Structure formats: structure tokens, C-alpha cells
Structure 1
Amino acid sequence: MKLDERHLIQLAAVVQTGSVTGGADLLGMTQPAVSRTLSTLEKRLGEPLFFKGQRPLQPTPLARALADQGNAMLSASRKASETVKFFREGKAGSVRVGGTPFFMDALISSMTAEFQNSFPEIRVDQSYGYVRDLREAIHADRIDLAICPIDILGEGSGLVFEEILPGRNVVACSVLHPLLNKRKPTARELLEYPWVAPPAGSPLYADLHSILLSLGATEIKIRYSGGSLASVINYMTRTNALTVLPHSVVFAYRKDRSLTALPFKIPHPDRALGILRPADAPYLPAVDKYAQHIVGGFQDLRHLIKRHEDAVVWGG
């Protein structure tokens, strides 16, 4: 025998409240409509649903068993309604974000944690890549947005880019590096030390080679290359090697007392860190709320980074 799910939900509401009127109010229906449902259900079952003459209404064993099924449906219906409500308010859903490894590990992962402290029902799936890979991932609908450094976004790309931090590179080293004893280290002194190269294909890799050539290097001493941010930091804290990193990444580790920047000016790259999204993307409240959180986090951060750059890195 196939029963109408709506009839079971109405029966559950009446059993839960102990009256037809209460059940109707719980479901936002009229009392006559619920009464008709109960009458139809009794005729279909061929037996009564409630014991006669008892108030509040007392369900029969069969009615109670059916009401249990109706309660499960009612609960699922309410949960579905709540899911829709939370989704529309940007309090539930998922965000697929990709980004360049060093920025994601140093800055974005902690911002994501702060975001989910406020919106625990939003799932965030993070992946890594550089600009070319991230653009392909967006067009293939594998990610909703990317956080990466970009120099030029050509017309007709189908993407929009929102800058969140200007490009700023520094020469990074261990907090115990000998060159920190010098007020103004020279290019020649920098070239006496080995260097750590970021992963090949990253913007930083090109920046490193460009900077070393501008310092007059004829032979580039690359001692270690291709590691993750954690491995680069672990390596540098145990050696006197140098590397080129975004100042924001070095700034993020200032409290760890593991990494710092030398007071040596190098050219800033002609690019900016920002959020890359499809130009014609459908409105996804959770994704939009996540992007707003990242933008807001960098609005606070960029002033602190600039102050640190002026006061510490360049010594005022």
C-alpha cells in the first residue's frame, strides 16, 4: 500500500501536538484541511487513527508507528528548508578555492580558518596552482575562484580580477643570518651566500633570477629548490641561505621568529595579489561571502605590512 508522504507528515504533526488544530498551526495549514487528510487516511487504512473520546488525541499503535515515519519526513523537510535558507544567506554551501602555494599556506589558510569559525556550515576545498593552471581550473568549473598574483589580465579572458595586495618582494633569510649585523648589506655581500629557489614555474622563480642578474651575479648559487613553503623555511632556519619571497609571506611569519627580511631594496614585481573569478559566474552566496572575508582581511593586513616595510625592512 502506497501512502501519501504529506498525509504522514500531517498525521505526525497532530500526534505531536495532541490536536488537529495544533497540528494545522504547526504546519501552517487550516484545521479543515488537516481533518480531511486524517479522514482520507483512515478510509485508506480501513481502521481508526485515534481512540475515540480522548483529549488530547491518543493515537492508535498503527497511527503512532506511521507518525514516526511522518516525523522523519517532517524533520527532513525542515532541514531542507533550513538548508535553502542558509544557502541563500551565505551561511551554508561550499567554496572551491585555488591559489599559489606560498600565499595559500602563509596567509589564506589562516583566513579560511577564521572564516569557518564564523560560518562552520560552509565547506572550503583548497587546491594549489599557478596562474595558467588556475585560469584553466576556473574555466573548467573545478574551482569557484583563485587567489594569485597577476601582472596583466588580457581582454576577452572571461575573468575579473580584484586586487587585494600590491606586489612587494624582499630578500628573506634566517633571523640569525650574519648579514643582519650590517646596517646596509651590499649586493656583493648578498652574492657570497647560497640561494634557495622557489618552485619552477612560479612567479617568484622568475623574480629570483631577474634580481640576481640585476645584482651582477655571473653564477647563481642555487643550493636548494622546488620545496614547499614549510620546507623552505625549515631549510633556511638551519642555513645562511637567502631567497626572494613576497613581503606579506615574511610578515606572516614574523611572530615565529624564524624568518625575516634583509634591509636591502630590490625591484618590486609589476603584479598584484588578488581574487580571480569568472566574469559570468552565477551568484553563489557562500563563495561571495568567502571572497568578502578575504578582501576584508587584506584591507586590515596591507596597512600593517606597509608599516612593517617602512619601519623594519627599510629602517624608515
Structure 2
Amino acid sequence: MKLDPRQLEVLAAIVDHGGLTEAAAALGKSQPSLSRSVSTLEQRVGAALFLPGKRPLQPTELCLRLAEEGRRIGLANAAASQTVQSYRAGRSGAVRVGGTPIFMDGVISSMLAGFQSSNPGIRIDQTYGYAVDLAERVQSGALDLAVCPIRTEMVPPGLQFDSILRGRNVIACREGHPLLQARGLTESDLKRFPWISPPEDSPLFQDMRLMLEKLGNADFRVSFSGGGLSAVLSVLTGSDALTILPYAVVFGLRKRYGIGLLSIKVDHPDRDLGLLYLPGPGRTPATLRLRNYVASQFQNLAATIQHHEKQMLWRR
């Protein structure tokens, strides 16, 4: 036998509030409509639900048991409603995020941690990749959001790209490196030390090669290559090797790992770090919330980096 769950909720309200009038007021319904619900339910179960002629209403044993089921239905409906409200507000759900390894590990991961501390209902599934691969995965629906450096004219049709940080590279070294004490650094100074090379398939590797060629150091000596960010930082801080890294990564990790920046200007890449996603109504509220959060974090970071560059880097 299938019973109408709405009638069971009405029955629970009548029992809990002690009468038709009180239940009608609590539910925002009319008393006659509740009476009809009770009559229909009694016909369906083939038994009286309240003792006849008793005032106030006195529920039968069957009524009490059905009312208990009605309460469970009410709680389930309330929980379902809360789930929908949380989803619509962007406080629950899952977001699939992809990004380039250096930025994800050096900058974005700490932002994701801050985001989840205030949005514990959102699960983040993170993967790595470079711009071309990430764009394809966003287009196919395999990713909700990508954080990557890309030239704006290379953004594939149909994708939205929001720039959040200008491409800026710096030459990094360990704190206490001999070159940090030097003034008026020249290309010959850089030739004295080995270099840590980013993975050859990364845009950062091309940046380093072009920079060193322009500085007249095309035959630079590589002491370590191919490692992830943690390996690069270990070698960098444990030796006199130099490397090229995005300014935002060095800025965010400099105090924790003891990283220094050389006061020698290099050409910045013609790429912007930004958020890549499919525009339109298909985005989930959680994706929109995360996108806005990351964008706001980078807005603050960009201003801080600019201040640090003017006040600290070029004053040495």
C-alpha cells in the first residue's frame, strides 16, 4: 500500500500541535483542507485515526505510528531543502580544478586551503597540466576551472579567460647567496653559477632559455633539471645554483624557504596568469564561488607584489 507522504506530514503536525486549528496555523493551511487530508488517509488505511467524539483530538495507536513516519518525512524534506539551498549558494558540491604545476604548488594550493576552511562543504579535485592540455579539458567538460598562464590571443574560441596576474619572472637563489651582496650585476656574474632547469615541456623552461640567450649566456651550465617545485626548492636553497621562477611563486615562498631574488631585470613573458572556464549557465555555483575567491586573492597579491618590487627588489 502506497500512502501520500504529504498526508503523513499533515498527520504528524496535527498530533504534534494538538489539533486541527493549531496544525493549520503552523502549516499555513486551512482547517478544512487538513480535515480532508485526514479523511482521505482514513479511507486509504481503512481505519479511524482519531477516537470519535473526543475533544481535544485523541490519536489512535495507528495514528501515532503513522505520525512518526510523517515526522521522518518532514525531516527528510527539510534536509533535502537545506541541501538544495547550500548547493545554490555555492557552499556544497565539487569543483574540478587544473593548473600548471609551479603555480598550483607554489601559490594556488594555499589559496585552496583558505577557501576550504571557510567552505568545508565543497570538495576540490585538483590535477596538473599546461595551457593547451588544460584548455582542451575545460572545453570537453573534464575540468570546471583551469588556472594557467596563457597568451590572451591563444585562448581557444568558446572559452572565457579572466586575467588575474601579469606574467613576471625573476632570477631566484638561496638567502645568503654571494650574488645578493653584489651591486650592478652583469651577465658574467650569472655565468659563474650553475642553473636549475625547469621541465623542458614547461613554458618556464623556454623563458629561461630565451632570457639567458639574451643575456649572452647561451651555454649556461645546468646542475639539476626536470624536478617538481619541491625538488627545485630543495636544490635551490641547498646550493649556489640559480633558477628562474614566477615572481608570485617566489614572493609567496621566500620567507618559508629562505629564497632570495636577484636585482637584475629580465624580460617578462607575454603571458598572463588567469582563470579559464566555459562561460554560460552550465557553471555550478561552487565553481563560481571558487573562481571569485581565487580572483580576489590574486587582486590582493598583485598589489602586494607590486609594492614589494618597488620598495625592496630594485633598491638593493
Q: Name the TM-score, length of structure 2 as normaliser.
A: 0.91
| Distance apart, 1:38 and its partner CA | 1.6
Task: Provide the C-alpha distance between the structure 2 equivalents of 1:41 and 1:204, rounded to a whole number of angstroms.
Answer: 72
SS at match of 2:183: coil
Tell me which residue corresponds to 2:138: 138
SS at match of 1:173: strand
Distance of aligned partners of 1:54 and 1:282 in 2 relative to their CA distance in 1, 3 Å threshold: same
Q: Which runs of 5+ in 1 are unaligned?
A: none
Range with bigger deviation, 91-100 or 45-54: 45-54
Equivalent positions of 1:236-247 (< 5 A) are: 236-247=236-247
Q: What do you get for the CA RMSD once the two structures are aligned? A: 2.2
Distance of aligned partners of 1:61 and 1:188 in 2 relative to their CA distance in 1, 3 Å threshold: farther
Equivalent positions of 1:210-225 (< 5 A) are: 210-225=210-225
Task: Provide the C-alpha distance between the structure 1 equivalents of 2:140 and 2:229, rounded to a whole number of angstroms.
Answer: 28
Contact 2:196 2:223 in 1 (8 A): yes
Contact 2:233 2:257 in 1 (8 A): no
Distance of aligned partners of 1:16 and 1:117 in 2 relative to their CA distance in 1, 3 Å threshold: farther
Indicate whether 1:278 and 2:278 are aligned.
yes
Distance of aligned partners of 1:165 and 1:44 in 2 relative to their CA distance in 1, 3 Å threshold: same
Indicate whether 1:191 and 2:212 are aligned.
no
Range with bigger deviation, 280-289 or 225-234: 280-289
SS at match of 1:163: strand
Contact 2:175 2:258 in 1 (8 A): yes
1:129-150 deviation per Cα after TM superposition (whole angstroms, max 9, x unaligned): 1101111111111111211111
Task: Provide the C-alpha distance between the structure 1 equivalents of 2:85 and 2:160, rounded to a whole number of angstroms.
Answer: 28
1:143-183 deviation per Cα after TM superposition (whole angstroms, max 9, x unaligned): 11211111133476111211111111000111132221212
Task: Provide the C-alpha distance between the structure 1 equivalents of 2:156 and 2:277, rounded to a whole number of angstroms.
Answer: 13
Task: Provide the C-alpha distance between the structure 2 equivalents of 1:281 and 1:40, rounded to a whole number of angstroms.
Answer: 43
Contact 2:97 2:124 in 1 (8 A): yes
Tell me which residue corresponds to 1:28: 28
Range with bigger deviation, 57-66 or 208-217: 57-66
Distance of aligned partners of 1:54 and 1:243 in 2 relative to their CA distance in 1, 3 Å threshold: farther
Tell me which residue corresponds to 2:261: 261
Indicate whether 1:17 and 2:17 are aligned.
yes
SS at match of 1:90: coil
Contact 1:158 1:280 in 2 (8 A): no
| Distance apart, 1:234 and its partner CA | 1.9
Distance of aligned partners of 1:133 and 1:2 in 2 relative to their CA distance in 1, 3 Å threshold: same
Task: Provide the C-alpha distance between the structure 2 equivalents of 1:30 and 1:173, rounded to a whole number of angstroms.
Answer: 77
1:265-306 deviation per Cα after TM superposition (whole angstroms, max 9, x unaligned): 111111111111223453533222221211111111111101
Matching residue's letter, 1:158: G
SS at match of 1:153: helix
1:217-262 deviation per Cα after TM superposition (whole angstroms, max 9, x unaligned): 2433222222222222122111111111000100001331522211
Distance of aligned partners of 1:62 and 1:271 in 2 relative to their CA distance in 1, 3 Å threshold: same
Matching residue's letter, 2:128: Y
Tell me which residue corresponds to 1:161: 161
Task: Provide the C-alpha distance between the structure 2 equivalents of 1:187 and 1:281, rounded to a whole number of angstroms.
Answer: 52
SS at match of 1:73: helix
Q: Which runs of 5+ in 2 are unaligned?
A: none
Tell me which residue corresponds to 2:4: 4
Contact 1:188 1:215 in 2 (8 A): no
